[in-house]
């Protein structure tokens, strides 16, 4: 899924946990988007070929990334115990959303076995359209929740 969707989901999770301080919210958003930082070295190739395949994901995006999210969340728990659930759920949400919408290699680098739940379109155009619809829907939900709250 795209990075905007992940960031919006982090914002929504912060709302769900009643977190309102900006640094804490940004920490949640960082946990939501950080697994995709490994795409940066592949951006040039991905835009040239028009695809972000599983090969654009380093070990940081799969099993190792999940372990890093857990370790990072435990570090957050030591420093700011009240933010542990936010950090862990934001980090975990990234892997769950990507697993539901993209082919993944869950045990990479120990196994290159690709898992595709086939719940999401694979054509680039259809994938882009569904990403845009889901991202806009999530953005709308966030706007409605923040508007109702204030
Ligand atoms: Zn991702």
Range 48-55 contact pairs with CB under 8 angstroms and sequence separation of 24 or more: 50/124, 51/124, 52/102, 53/103, 54/102, 54/103, 54/104, 54/105, 54/108, 54/114
User: Quick one: pLDDT band at residue 61, thresholds 50, 70, 90?
Assistant: confident
In the chain, how many domains are there? 1
Ligand 1 centroid to residue 61 C-alpha, Å: 7
Of 28, 48, 27, 33, give the one whose Cα is nearest residue 89: 28
Ligand 1 centroid to residue 96 C-alpha, Å: 9
What confidence tens digit (pLDDT) does each residue in 21-44 have?
Answer: 999 999 999 999 988 887 777 767
Please tell me the distance from the alpha carbon of residue 38 to that of residue 3, in angstroms, as a whole number. 12
Identify residues whose C-beta is under 5 A from ligand 1, the ion: 35-36, 98
Residue 71, domain extent:
3-149
Ligand 1 centroid to residue 150 C-alpha, Å: 32
What confidence tens digit (pLDDT) does each residue in 8-19 have?
Answer: 999 999 999 999
Global pTM reads 0.87
Ligand 1 centroid to residue 70 C-alpha, Å: 16
């Amino acid at each position: 899924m795209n990075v905007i969707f992940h960031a919006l989901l982090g914002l929504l999770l912060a709302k769900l946990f009643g977190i309102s301080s900006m640094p804490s919210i940004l920490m949640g958003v960082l946990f939501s988007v950080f697994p995709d930082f490994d795409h940066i070295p592949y951006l040039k190739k991905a835009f040239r070929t028009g695809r972000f395949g599983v090969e654009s994901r380093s070990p940081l995006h799969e099993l190792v990334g999940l372990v890093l999210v857990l370790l990072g969340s435990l570090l957050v728990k030591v420093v700011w115990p009240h933010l542990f659930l936010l950090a862990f759920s934001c980090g975990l949400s990234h892997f769950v959303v990507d697993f539901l919408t993209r082919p993944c290699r869950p045990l990479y680098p120990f196994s290159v076995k690709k898992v595709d739940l086939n719940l999401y379109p694979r054509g680039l155009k259809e994938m882009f359209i569904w990403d845009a619809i889901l991202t806009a829907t999530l953005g709308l939900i966030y706007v409605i929740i923040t508007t109702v709250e204030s």
